[in-house]
Amino acid sequence: MVLSNKHILTLVRAQLATDCNCASGDFDRAGFVFCEAKENPGRRPFPRGERHFEMMTMGGAVVVSATPDILPYLREQLDGKTRDEAFSMPFVYGSGVYFIPDHLCLPPMPDGIEIMILERDQILKLYEIYQRADFPNAIQYDIDHPRPDVLVTLATVNGKVAGMAGASADCEMLWQIGIDVQPEYRGRNIAAALTGRLATEILNRGKIPYYGTASSNVASQRVAYRAGFKPAWVCAFRGRFNGVLTGPTG
């Protein structure tokens, strides 16, 4: 199945609507949309506490999804606010920028570096070989993880792993990319080359690759652009209410 950019955006919007418990068209509206957070079938299984909050925009409306105990507070606090003001509110703790394919490219890998493609069974062996601190973003080191590692691109130099990009199956259609490059090999375009190659492999399997990073992580955002991604949405995924942190913790 060949996915056009328009089709990808439509599928991503539908998934985010499932996650937030809103309608797909809500993202194209103006102003704010408030939704009660629910465990909808097919939502991406990121952890949620008893008090849940997330707020996202794809460029139109700001969709706010939260548990009933804090929805009235959020309505009150965001009344009359602009989109930019909403994401700067004191209760917002942590936000990320998320990218989807635009015109994927395969940046050339430096001389002497080889790329390998690893499938699920091969990935599980990586858990035994490498410490979590070696590649904390690329793989999850958990055979029973609800968002399992399903595909990896590996860069090696004389048999040593220089970098790794991994894809987790976050839901039926969206596979998220994480990337790690060892310090001595950074600045050589390895991250972009691995990310672009992995994204292409994901699309070839009929799935949608996406790439997320903190809004402050400029270096990571540059990797996304060099690999041919474009920004698609911003999400505030944690909040502080009455001094208590709520939202996903991992």
User: Which amino acid would we find at residue 39?
Assistant: E
Same domain, 120 and 219: yes
CATH number for position 109: 3.40.630.30
Q: What whole-number distance in Å separates Cα of residue 176 and Cα of residue 87? A: 23
What pTM value is reported for the model?
0.94
User: For residue range 41-51, what is the model confidence (pLDDT) as tens digits?
Assistant: 999 999 998 89
Position 241 scores a pLDDT of 86
Residue 152 has pLDDT above 70, yes or no: yes
Same domain, 32 and 138: no
Residue 176 near residue 167, CB atoms below 8 Å: yes
Same domain, 110 and 223: yes
Same domain, 165 and 91: no
Position 249 scores a pLDDT of 43
For the chain, the domain total comes to 2
Q: What whole-number distance in Å separates Cα of residue 101 and Cα of residue 51? A: 33
Same domain, 108 and 76: no
Instruction: Indicate the average pLDDT of the chain.
Output: 94
Position 246 scores a pLDDT of 80
Distances (CA, A) of 30 to 40, 143, 177, 195: 24, 42, 30, 34
- Structural domain boundaries enclosing 48: 5-99+234-246
Same domain, 196 and 240: no
Same domain, 32 and 47: yes
Q: What is the mean pLDDT of residues 153-173?
A: 96
Same domain, 89 and 110: no
Count Cα atoms within 13 angstroms, Cβ side, for 205. 18
CB count in 10 Å sphere of residue 161: 20
Same domain, 24 and 77: yes
Same domain, 30 and 112: no
Residue 250 has pLDDT above 60, yes or no: no
Q: What is the mean pLDDT of residues 211-230?
A: 95
Same domain, 216 and 170: yes
Same domain, 109 and 223: yes
